[in-house]
Amino acid sequence: MSTMTNKCDGRKVSKVRRSSSSVEEDSGESNIGGEGHLKKGPWTSAEDAILVDYVKKNGEGNWNAVQRHSGLARCGKSCRLRWANHLRPDLRKGAFTEEEERRIIELHAKMGNKWARMAAELPGRTDNEIKNYWNTRIKRMQRAGLPIYPPDVCLRVMHGNQESVNVGTLRDEANQHDDLSQTDTLDIPELDFKLVKVCPGLSYGPSICDIPESSMVEMSSDSSHGYNHMFPVMPPSKRLRESDMQYGYLDSCISDTVPIFEQYGDYTCDKISDHTQLSSPCDPILNTSDQFHGDDTYGSHATLNGNTSSSVPLPGAMKLELPSLQYFETQHGIWGTPASPLPSLESVDTMIQSPPAKPSPSDPVSPERSGLLEAIIYQPKQLQVANNNSLQATPNDCVRKEVKISTMKSKPECDEQGGPYFPLDQSAASVATNYTSISMCLVDAPQSVETIQDHNIKQELGTQYPAYVSGKKENWNQIDFTRPDALLDLGWYGSGIDCDDYDGDRFLFKDAFSPFLGQDPDG
Partner DNA sequence: AAGGGTGACAACCGCACGAAC
Partner DNA sequence: GGTTCGTGCGGTTGTCACCCT
Which of 50, 51, 80, 410 is in the footprint of DNA by CB under 7 A?
80
Query: Taking the complex as a whole, how short is the minimal distance between the CB of residue 312 and DNA, in angstroms?
Result: 22
Which region, judged by CB under 7 A, interacts with DNA, from 130-138, 199-207, 300-308, 349-357?
130-138
Question: Can you say how many angstroms the Cα of residue 375 is from the centroid of all Cα atoms in its chain?
Answer: 15
Query: Taking the complex as a whole, how short is the minimal distance between the CB of residue 131 and DNA, in angstroms?
Result: 6
Q: Are 228 and 136 within 8 A, CB to CB?
A: no
CA distance 106 to 360: 42
Give the DSSP letter of residue 227: G
Binding flag, residue 95, DNA (CB under 7 A): yes
Which of 50, 82, 170, 230 is in the footprint of DNA by CB under 7 A?
82
Query: Taking the complex as a whole, how short is the minimal distance between the CB of residue 522 and DNA, in angstroms?
Result: 45
Neighbours of 25 (CB within 10 A): 8
Nearer to DNA, 131 or 473 (CB): 131
Q: Please name the amino acid found at residue 317.
A: A
Length of the chain: 523
Nearer to DNA, 435 or 465 (CB): 435
> How many DSSP H helices and E strands does the chain contain?
21, 2
Which region, judged by CB under 7 A, interacts with DNA, from 81-89, 179-187, 308-316, 429-437?
81-89
Which of 34, 42, 124, 168 is in the footprint of DNA by CB under 7 A?
42
Q: At what angle do helices 450-463 and 260-274 cross, to 10 degrees?
A: 140
Which region, judged by CB under 7 A, interacts with DNA, from 176-184, 214-222, 375-383, 453-461?
214-222
Binding flag, residue 114, DNA (CB under 7 A): yes
Binding flag, residue 353, DNA (CB under 7 A): no
Which of 88, 92, 102, 131 is in the footprint of DNA by CB under 7 A?
131
Which of 26, 31, 43, 367 is in the footprint of DNA by CB under 7 A?
43
Which region, judged by CB under 7 A, interacts with DNA, from 69-77, 197-205, 333-341, 433-441?
69-77
Which of 46, 49, 116, 334 is in the footprint of DNA by CB under 7 A?
116
Nearer to DNA, 192 or 251 (CB): 192
The DSSP string of 462-500 is HH---TT--S-HHHHHH--TTSTTGGGGBTTTS-BS-GG
Which region, judged by CB under 7 A, interacts with DNA, from 38-46, 276-284, 306-314, 377-385?
38-46
Binding flag, residue 97, DNA (CB under 7 A): no
- Contacts of 474 by beta carbon, 8 Å cutoff, 6+ apart: none
Binding flag, residue 140, DNA (CB under 7 A): yes
Cα angle for residues 163, 147, 488 (degrees, 5° grid)? 30
Binding flag, residue 102, DNA (CB under 7 A): no
- Contacts of 191 by beta carbon, 8 Å cutoff, 6+ apart: 221, 408, 410, 412, 430, 433, 434
Q: At what angle do helices 395-406 and 426-439 cross, to 10 degrees?
A: 140
Which of 4, 167, 195, 403 is in the footprint of DNA by CB under 7 A?
4
Hey, which residues does 72 pair with through a beta bridge? Answer: 32
Q: Please name the amino acid found at residue 235.
A: P
Q: Are 249 and 151 within 8 A, CB to CB?
A: yes
Nearer to DNA, 228 or 482 (CB): 228
Binding flag, residue 237, DNA (CB under 7 A): yes
Q: Are 325 and 263 within 8 A, CB to CB?
A: yes
Query: Taking the complex as a whole, how short is the minimal distance between the CB of residue 178 and DNA, in angstroms?
Result: 13
Which of 88, 92, 124, 128 is in the footprint of DNA by CB under 7 A?
128
Binding flag, residue 197, DNA (CB under 7 A): no
Q: Please name the amino acid found at residue 472.
A: K
Query: Taking the complex as a whole, how short is the minimal distance between the CB of residue 29 and DNA, in angstroms?
Result: 18
**SS3 assignment for 249-296:** HHHHHCCCCCCHHHHHHHHHHHHHHHCCCCCCCCHHHHHHHHHCCCCC
Which of 14, 30, 97, 135 is in the footprint of DNA by CB under 7 A?
135
Q: Please name the amino acid found at residue 499.
A: C
Count of residues that interact with DNA, criterion CB under 7 A: 70
Query: Taking the complex as a whole, how short is the minimal distance between the CB of residue 234 and DNA, in angstroms?
Result: 9
- H-run or E-run covering 183: helix 180-183
Which of 117, 332, 404, 458 is in the footprint of DNA by CB under 7 A?
117
Which region, judged by CB under 7 A, interacts with DNA, from 60-68, 177-185, 396-404, 498-506?
60-68
Binding flag, residue 171, DNA (CB under 7 A): no
Q: Are 316 and 372 within 8 A, CB to CB?
A: no
Which region, judged by CB under 7 A, interacts with DNA, from 10-18, 27-35, 159-167, 319-327?
10-18
- Checking 66-69 for CB contacts under 8 A at 24+ apart, the result is 67/35, 67/38, 68/35
Which of 14, 30, 69, 77 is in the footprint of DNA by CB under 7 A?
77
Neighbours of 184 (CB within 10 A): 18
Query: Taking the complex as a whole, how short is the minimal distance between the CB of residue 163 and DNA, in angstroms?
Result: 24
Q: Which residues in this chain contact DNA in the complex, by CB under 7 A?
A: 1-2, 4-8, 13, 15-21, 40-43, 60-65, 75-78, 80-82, 85-86, 95, 112-117, 127-129, 131-133, 135-137, 139-140, 143, 213-214, 216-217, 223-228, 237-242, 417
